[in-house]
A and B are shown apart, each in its own frame.
Chain A
């Protein structure tokens, strides 16, 4: 339970972060900026890991994981969860917009129909 505490804390914080993402209210410009910074960071880290493979293993050792490849897998897992959370939110937003649009269309049509029906009969 208490061996390798550092990596466990990091990973758990990551999971909590994903959960918060799921339940938070709609994000705006700030959210986008943070995401872009994270992306830049990710690219830099990936480049470093490719250029200097031992570095990854050193970082892994530092946080208490045996191999760099394992650290990569953990990181990927968290990132994937984050991606799922973000796309779920995005999907809900689109669904909402879609619903409002469709409803307005249906109502307009029904009102239009109701106005013209008495003249027909």
Chain B
């Protein structure tokens, strides 16, 4: 494996140093994220040595950048959408490794590695198959009023469709145990996959919990994130299959 340079500087930010988590793989969909992803992956690999990036036909060299910082890279021949990229990453982990856990993670730096690590520990300790990250279990994440209303609407619709009682449906940070991941066959290539993933996981009838996470809204993630008008598309994709 490639060498990660030892850095003395990051101890000061209060990140507790746990043992690297060997039986979990991070799945990170990439689409033109080259400007931030080196830092995100380098940081993540201190805790999660195993990272697979699905390069969804980026045009800015994201795939090469991810390879350079030690991630496995699967490259789509053309752009298929984030849902399709997630499914590809999950298939990669299931087919080529015997990892117990798949962690879906964003390349734009809005997810925190320590949240992901805590979620894997919780899945192990409480013996649950699915840990959904939720930004609404505590008051730390500040999404802004309009975003909050739309996210809450999405939660309501997802709960109606799936019968689960989630507090946050469109959170990209999830820990999925191998047996639950095997029940995933995402067909919604575009953004409606967030609802579809919850629906298919609920059908596995495996035990799940929600875990409070902090989403870091940076200017970059805000610009990359779904525009609010796109929620119309998500809604219609969710209803008309």
Contacts and interface: CB of A to CB of B under 8 A. Distances in A.
Interface of A: 22-23, 92, 95-96, 98-99, 102-103, 105-107, 109-111, 114
A101 B217 CA distance: 35
User: Dominant SS at the A interface?
Assistant: helix
Interface string B63-88: 00000000011111110100010011
B96 interface: yes
A115 to B, nearest CB: 10
Given A99-B189, A114-B96, A107 B88 contact: yes
B240 A111 contact: no
A56 B184 CA distance: 53
Interface of B: 54, 72-78, 80, 84, 87-88, 91-92, 95-96, 187, 189, 240-241
Contacts of B78: 102
A23 B189 contact: no
Q: Which of A109, A110, A111, A114 has the most CB of B within 10 A?
A: A110
A114 B54 CA distance: 14
User: Dominant SS at the B interface?
Assistant: mixed
B240 A110 contact: no
A51 to B, nearest CB: 40
Given A111-B95, A111-B96, A114-B72, A106 B88 contact: yes
A96 B187 contact: yes
Given A99-B84, A102-B76, 5 more contacts: A95-B189, A102-B84, A109-B74, A110-B92, A110-B96
A23 B84 contact: no
A13 B228 CA distance: 35
A22 B92 CA distance: 33
B80 A99 contact: yes
A105 B187 CA distance: 17
A96 B190 CA distance: 12
Contacts of A102: 76-78, 80, 84
Given A103-B84, A103-B87, A103-B91, A110 B189 contact: no
B74 A110 contact: yes
11 contacts: A23-B240, A92-B241, A95-B189, A96-B187, A99-B189, A102-B77, A103-B76, A103-B84, A106-B75, A107-B74, A109-B75
Contacts of A107: 74, 88, 91-92, 95
Contacts of A98: 80
A105 B77 contact: yes
Contacts of B241: 23, 92
A103 B72 contact: no
A110 B76 contact: no
Contacts of B92: 107, 110
A106 B72 contact: no
Contacts of A105: 77
Contacts of B88: 103, 106-107
A96 B196 CA distance: 15
Contacts of B72: 110, 114
Contacts of A103: 76, 80, 84, 87-88, 91
B84 A110 contact: no
